[in-house]
Amino acid sequence: MLIMNACVYNVRNFLQSMKDREVKNDYKIQRRITKQK
């Protein structure tokens, strides 16, 4: 049971970090687009 919880926790953290990375990339792309305008 404890091992299961740890796995779920790790997956959640992993997904959250992926989401954060995507947001940062989107932000960079947005800035690049605004610079070109």
pLDDT of residue 17: 96
pLDDT of residue 33: 83
CB-count exposure of residue 8 (10 Å: 0-12, 13-18, 19+): exposed
Q: What is the pLDDT of residues 1-37, one digit of tens each?
A: 677 788 889 999 999 999 999 999 999 989 988 887 6
pLDDT of residue 14: 95
pLDDT of residue 12: 95
